[in-house]
């Protein structure tokens, strides 16, 4: 079996490392400089059934990029370009699969690696870090990948090992449409839950009805300009279903803000605002949420 290298040892990356190892795939974790010289312990994965399993991976650093044959990038959106810039020895034959929230990163990656197959994906798996190397798989979901450049069209076969490990991984020639659909959901749930400090399901309470309606309509109007055909009513149903299915979860933006980490606001709400401006659409709720999340992130950074 070919080795899978995972760039981004956060919750999702570690869960995917665990799922791949459970199926016998060799897995390496590309670690940041802060891990150099430290013991690289086994991951402890808490499965969906509540079992604790030790997951053994191979530690790698940027200068070892020439060894990679498959690269799965699970960093935050704002980390993708910086993390990849250090991998100058990456073989041109190595496919790069980008799995991150938001949009606005892919063009920069194509510029950095013009000869590599670039794939993008969306996933609805849930993951949470309980401590540095203790990871909980909180939800099983779908994973879709598709081509972001011409060279990527020959890599549909990667869905097979990912399906075996993840339970579902399917190819889509129109992966950007799936990215937009996930972006639309994230652009509603993430900033609201981060702003008000609530679980995803709490947004269904009557106190959030007005702001939820306004934000949903703003995001939907932008999506229509980007080529989506989903009606507002269908978008609301899809959105509510996600909130119901993830009712007890905290969004990634909520967790980042709560723990004083940078958020992906620029690649989610910021992307929506950029498109709204381009198409001359009003988006006052998006704008207010963006400003408040940015301010709170800045305030936390002062302490």
- Distance separating alpha carbons of residues 167 and 288, to the nearest angstrom: 39
- Distance separating alpha carbons of residues 6 and 80, to the nearest angstrom: 12
Residue 129 bears catalytic tag: no
Residue among 76, 129, 182, 300 flagged as catalytic: 182
Closest-CA residue to 185 (of 118, 283, 252): 252
For residue 193, the surrounding DSSP H or E stretch is: helix 175-196
State the CB neighbour count (10 A cutoff) for residue 67.
15
Q: Does the CA dihedral 149-151-156-159 come out positive or negative?
A: negative
- Distance separating alpha carbons of residues 76 and 267, to the nearest angstrom: 10
Could you tell me which residues are beta bridge partners of residue 146?
A: 120
Q: DSSP secondary structure string, 227-246?
A: T----HHHHHHHHHHHHHHT
Query: Which residues are tagged catalytic?
Result: 182
């Amino acid at each position: 079996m070919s080795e899978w290298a995972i760039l981004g040892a956060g919750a999702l990356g570690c869960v995917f490392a665990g799922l791949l190892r459970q199926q016998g795939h060799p897995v390496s974790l590309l670690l940041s400089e802060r891990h150099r010289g430290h013991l690289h312990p086994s991951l402890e994965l808490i499965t969906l059934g509540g079992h604790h399993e030790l997951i053994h991976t191979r530690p790698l650093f940027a200068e070892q990029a020439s060894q990679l044959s498959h690269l799965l990038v699970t960093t935050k959106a704002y980390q993708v370009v910086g993390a990849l810039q250090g991998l100058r020895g990456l073989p041109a034959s190595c496919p790069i699969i980008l799995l991150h929230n938001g949009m606005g990163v892919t063009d920069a990656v194509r510029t950095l690696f013009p000869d590599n197959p670039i794939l993008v994906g969306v996933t609805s798996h849930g993951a949470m870090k309980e401590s540095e190397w203790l990871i909980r798989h909180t939800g099983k979901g779908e994973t879709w990948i598709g081509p972001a450049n011409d060279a990527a069209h020959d890599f549909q076969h990667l869905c097979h090992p990912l399906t075996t490990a993840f339970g579902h991984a399917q190819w889509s020639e129109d992966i950007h449409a799936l990215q937009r659909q996930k972006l639309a959901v994230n652009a509603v749930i993430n900033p609201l839950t981060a702003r008000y400090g609530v679980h995803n399901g709490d947004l269904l309470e009557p106190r959030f009805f007005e702001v939820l309606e306004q934000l949903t309509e703003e995001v939907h109007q932008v999506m229509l300009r980007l080529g989506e055909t989903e009606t507002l009513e269908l978008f609301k149903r899809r959105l509510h279903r996600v909130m119901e299915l993830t009712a007890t979860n905290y969004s990634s933006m909520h967790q980042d803000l709560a723990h004083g980490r940078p958020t992906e606001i620029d690649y989610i709400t910021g992307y929506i605002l950029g498109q709204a401006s381009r198409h001359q659409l009003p988006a006052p709720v998006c704008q207010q949420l963006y400003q408040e999340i940015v301010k709170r992130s800045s305030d936390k950074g002062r302490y």
